[in-house]
A and B are shown apart, each in its own frame.
Chain A
Amino acid sequence: MIVAHRLTKTFKDKKRGLIKAADEVSFTCHPGRIYGLLGANGAGKTTTLRLLATLLQPTGGTCTVAGHDTATAPQQVRANVGFLAASTALYGRLTAREMITYFGRLNNMTDDAIRQRLQVLADELEMHEFLDRRCEKFSTGMKQKTSIARTLIHDPAVMIFDEPTLGLDVMTARAIVKFVRACRERGKTVIYSTHVMSEVEKLCDTIGIIHCGRLVAEGTLGELRARFAEQDMEEIFVKAVGGEAALAQAARA
Chain B
Amino acid sequence: MNWKHILTVYLKELKDSLRDRRTLISMIVIPTFLMPLIIFGVGTIMTKVVKKAQDERTTLVVIGGQDSPGTLAALAAEKKLKIVESTGDYKKMISDKQVRLAVEIPAGFEASLKDGEPKTVMLYHYEGEMKSSMGVGEVDRFFRNLREKTIETRLADRGLPPDLIKPFEIKRQNVAPPEKVGGNMIGGLIPYIIIILCFTGAMYPAIDLTAGEKERGTMETLLCSPVHRVNLVLGKFLMVMTASVSTIALTLVSSSVSIIVGGSLMMGNSGGAKAAGAAAGGGGFMPIIDPAGILGVFAMIAPVAMLFAALLLTISLFAKSYKEAQSYVSPLIIVVLLPAMMGMLPGIELTAKTALVPILNLSLVCKEMLSGVWHWPYIALIFGSTVVYAAAAVALCVRMFNREDVMFRA
Contact = CB atoms under 8 A, between A and B. Distances in A.
B227 interface: yes
A220 interface: no
B16 A83 contact: no
A24 B216 CA distance: 32
Interface string B215-250: 011101101111110000000000000000000000
Interface of A: 50, 53, 55-57, 75-79, 81, 83, 85, 87-94, 98, 102-103, 105-108, 147, 150-151
A56 B408 contact: yes
Contacts of A151: 224
Contacts of B171: none
A75 B8 contact: no
Contacts of B19: 93
A150 B226 contact: no
- Counting contact residues on chain B (CB < 8 A from A), the size range is 20 to 34
Contact of B220 (A78, A87, A105, A108): A87
Nearest to A154: B226
B221 A88 contact: yes
Contact residues of A: prevailing secondary structure: mixed
A94 B12 contact: yes
Contacts of B227: 75, 106
Interface of B: 4-5, 8-9, 12, 15-16, 19-20, 216-218, 220-221, 223-228, 404, 408
B221 A89 contact: yes
28 contacts: A55-B224, A75-B227, A76-B226, A78-B224, A78-B225, A78-B226, A87-B217, A88-B218, A88-B220, A88-B224, A89-B217, A91-B12, A91-B218, A92-B216, A93-B20, A94-B12, A94-B15, A94-B16, A102-B8, A102-B12, A103-B221, A103-B225, A105-B8, A106-B8, A106-B225, A106-B227, A147-B221, A151-B224
B221 A150 contact: yes
A90 B226 contact: no
B210 to A, nearest CB: 14
Contacts of B20: 93
Contacts of B404: 55-57
Minimum-distance CB pairs A-B, first 3: A89-B217, A79-B226, A78-B226
A55 B408 contact: yes
B228 A75 contact: yes
Nearest to A53: B224
A81 to B, nearest CB: 7
